[in-house]
Amino acid sequence: MTLLSARLTSPFTDSSTRVSTNRRQLLTGAAATAGLAVGGGALAGEREPIDFQSPADNLRAWMKIYSDLDGNVDIYSWFSGHIFASVNPVSAMLPLLGFEGFAVNRCVPQGDGSFRVFINEVAFYKDIQTDRIIDSWLNPFTNERVEVFQLHAGPLTNQLTTVRKFELPDGSFAERPFVLPWLISGDDAFVSIEFNDVRDNPIQPDEWPRESVGEKIRVSESMQFMTKLSDLENPAVQRVNPTMGWTLLRSWLPWMLMGRAPGHLFYRNVVQKLSSMNELPRRLLDETERRFPEYLTSPPDESFGSFQTSYKIFKAEREPAPPLP
């Protein structure tokens, strides 16, 4: 999940250039009190209308949704769902695993209007039937019991500006303004963020023959957000708490030991932005404190420039599996 915000220098789908500015007349009536730090509605006089064609306005609105405009605050997003698998184009999706975790981010405003983003992420794989965290898993495709590698990634850092730079398939680079695909309906503001990529696999098959899916890996992520336009346009609101959903299509995970077998994984998750770490589910918090305590808070400022994905960490912490007899 977090990688979407760390990767916002990458291109969106073509729909990202379509911006809905066809707002309906906003109704006046019940509203929250003035001066709220967290979104909850705003009076008409407290509004600063967003220009949805302006990269600067887009970036500031996105920071309210994803994080907090105060760069000293850690923001936690909890997610939970299931992982499915497909082994060929005409097979039904098979439920494989439960999946639950969180991302913690801190977005620090810079003097030029950009934001430095600092992210850590932890997630645990769970038995699909019992909902318990598991450390070994019987792979239904190979009938081999494998050791689960619980996800921990970070520091993941980036700098978001009003211009997005991204690499084209031919290796050249291009730029686009930071303009998101907003849809406005009354006081409801919707936005989708998408990331689609095929990139070099850090787990190469010559060194990791059983873990690697090949020279390239595929990752396609999509997140949907809904919040109140009145909160985005309220200058007193530092962050909003949107309704969110997250889907992910990706290659087999290295620890599954699927090698180059055909197929892919599909993740379906709900996401909730929290007010503090203490709102995380107790079991999730306890397991993280026991296994990955350094990931409970956002990375420090001096980590800027680092981008430690779960693939890189897997490669550093694991050894290649022995060949099958």
pLDDT at 307 over 50: yes
**What mean pLDDT comes out for the span 30-43?**
42
In the predicted model, is pLDDT for residue 268 greater than 60?
A: yes
pLDDT at 198: 87
What is the reported pLDDT for 16? 33
Residue 173 is predicted with a pLDDT of 81
For the chain, strand residue ranges (E) read 75-86, 94-109, 115-127, 136-139, 144-147, 151-160, 163-167, 173-177, 182-185, 188-200, 216-228, 243-250, 264-274
Q: Which of 68, 74, 95, 76 is nearest to 84 (CA)?
A: 95
Radius of gyration over every alpha carbon of the chain, rounded to an integer in angstroms:
21
How far is it, in rounded angstroms, from Cα 75 to Cα 85?
31
List the structure tokens of 25: 């007349």
- Residue 304 reports pLDDT greater than 50: yes
- Write down the domain spans for the chain: 2-26+39-317
Residue 34 above 90 pLDDT? no
Q: Output the pLDDT for position 24.
A: 27
Name the β-bridge partners of 196: 220
- The per-residue pLDDT for 195 is 87
Per-residue model confidence (pLDDT) at position 277? 97
The CA-atom distances, in angstroms, between 227 and each of 64, 127, 205, 231 are 10, 33, 44, 8
Residues 6 or more apart whose CB falls under 8 angstroms from that of 322 comprise none
pLDDT reported for residue 38: 59
Range 149-184 burial, b when 16+ CB lie within 10 A, else e: bbbbbbbbbbebbbebeeeeeeeeeeeeebbbbbeb
Q: What is the mean pLDDT of the chain?
A: 87
pLDDT value of position 9:
41
Dump pLDDT digits (tens) for 138-166. Answer: 999 999 999 999 999 999 999 999 998 87
Contact between residue 99 and residue 133 where contact means Cβ atoms under 8 Å apart: no
What would the pLDDT profile of 42-99 be if each residue is shown by its tens digit?
A: 444 588 999 999 999 999 999 999 999 999 999 999 999 999 999 988 888 999 999 9
Q: Rounded distance, CA 106 to CA 96, Å?
A: 32
66 three-state secondary structure: helix
Per-position b or e across 239-265, b if 16+ CB within 10 A of its CB: bbbbebbbebbbbbbbbbbbbeeebbb
In which band, very low, low, confident or very high, does the pLDDT at 172 lie, cut at 50, 70 and 90? confident
pLDDT of residue 37: 52
Region of residue 166 (phi > 0: left; psi between -120 and 50: alpha; otherwise: beta):
beta
Encoded tokens for 97: 């695993």
Residue-level pLDDT at 164: 86
Residue 138 one-letter amino acid: L
Query: 21 pLDDT exceeds 60?
Result: no
Cα four-point dihedral sign 51, 272, 312, 139: negative
Structure confidence at residue 32 (pLDDT): 29
Q: What percent of the chain has pLDDT over 70?
A: 85
**pLDDT exceeds cutoff 80 at 15:** no
Q: Which residue type is seen at 27?
A: L
pLDDT confidence of 197, banded at 50, 70, 90? confident
pLDDT band at 7 (very low <50, low <70, confident <90, very high): low
**Do the beta carbons of residue 99 and residue 126 sit within 8 Å?**
yes
| CB half-sphere exposure, 29, CA atoms < 13 A | 4
Mean pLDDT, residues 171-179: 87
Cis peptide before 205 (omega within 30 of 0): no
Global pTM? 0.86
Q: pLDDT value at position 6? A: 55
108 three-state secondary structure: strand
- The larger pLDDT score, comparing residue 9 to residue 127, is at 127
